[in-house]
Homo-oligomer: A and B are copies of this chain.
Amino acid sequence: MDQSERLSRPKVDAIETILGKPFSVLDDGFVRVVDYMGDDAAIVLAARVSYGAGTKKVQEDSALIRYLMRHHHTTPFEMCEIKFHVRVPMDTWRQWIRHRTASVNEYSTRYSLAIDASQRTPETAWRLQSTENRQGSSGFLDSKAGANLSATEDELQRQARKVYEERLAAGVAREQARKDLPLSTYTEAYWKVDLHNLLNFLQLRMHKHAQAEIRSYAAIIGQEIVAKWVPTVWQAFLDYRDQAVTFSRMEASIVAAIAAGKQDHAKSLAEQFGLLNRNPDGSLKANRERRELQEKLSMMGLTFNWT
């Protein structure tokens, strides 16, 4: 090893130009990058320490990154780190904070006045309860009914703030005065996370089953920030994780039968796996796993007639 070897810090121009810039999210939230460590190349360097002198052939960095992503060799992705300053409704923050492998400093409403802003819902943005997914939403309330709800919301938020301020005026401690603030109240935090854990966060929170609010944060972080910071990693993430399709043991055998042109065998497997249970009248019972398989087949442009 050359004792005179010197390094300079990896620098990513596309991130430097947005450092500190707040990307707006929701009506009054934002995400901004405060600092970052590493780039695409830093991952390769770290991986090659673990590969050492063995990597004598010139192997393209991109190919290595894609290989690591494909084979779940996740530790090199921990070698990049990013720090955000975010402004988020507390309700969304409750979901965000469930990701434990990150460092957090949140604005303290014991020490300081609560931020005087709550997430408001426009009259066209009230989402209907999904009938298919107990924990999801689907479609929107009509704007007239929505207008009523928005007006009531506004009133409730004002009332809650007024109560908060009356308590403070009466001398009540901030830590207690805040107790009835609505979950829609904005909070701010520093959030620092390594790239591997950030990708896990994005995979879960960009998912169509994630709640709309946190999805909008995840989308910004993914598309506006990570895509610029580590473009090779981002593309590999899309190709091998986000847009990959996984078939269970049972599904794989059904797909194999379909692909081999054995429709009857596919059907018989589906029956055997309990996907084709029937109602007394002979119609197919609703079955979540069959519906999921159906969705995957559709994504791949395949059709299959279960009946």
Contacts and interface: CB of A to CB of B under 8 A. Distances in A.
Nearest to A4: B21
Given A54-B108, A256-B300, A173 B136 contact: yes
A286 interface: no
A189 interface: yes
A90 B126 CA distance: 24
A40 interface: no
Contact of A111 (B9, B50, B292): B50
Interface of A: 1, 3, 5-10, 16, 19-22, 30, 34-38, 42, 45-47, 49-55, 67, 70-72, 75-76, 78-79, 81, 83, 85, 89-91, 94, 97-98, 100-101, 103-108, 110-113, 115, 118-119, 121, 126-130, 134-138, 141, 145, 149, 152-153, 156-157, 159-160, 163, 166-168, 170-176, 178-184, 188-190, 192, 194, 204, 209, 211-212, 238-240, 243-253, 255-256, 258-261, 288-289, 292, 299-302
Given A91-B179, A244-B246, 17 more contacts: A3-B22, A35-B42, A36-B37, A49-B190, A52-B108, A52-B111, A53-B113, A91-B178, A100-B101, A135-B174, A138-B173, A149-B170, A156-B163, A182-B182, A246-B246, A253-B300, A255-B255
26 contacts: A6-B21, A46-B105, A47-B105, A49-B105, A52-B115, A52-B188, A53-B112, A54-B111, A75-B105, A81-B81, A97-B98, A129-B172, A129-B174, A141-B172, A175-B211, A176-B212, A178-B183, A179-B183, A180-B182, A239-B248, A240-B248, A252-B299, A253-B300, A255-B255, A258-B259, A259-B302
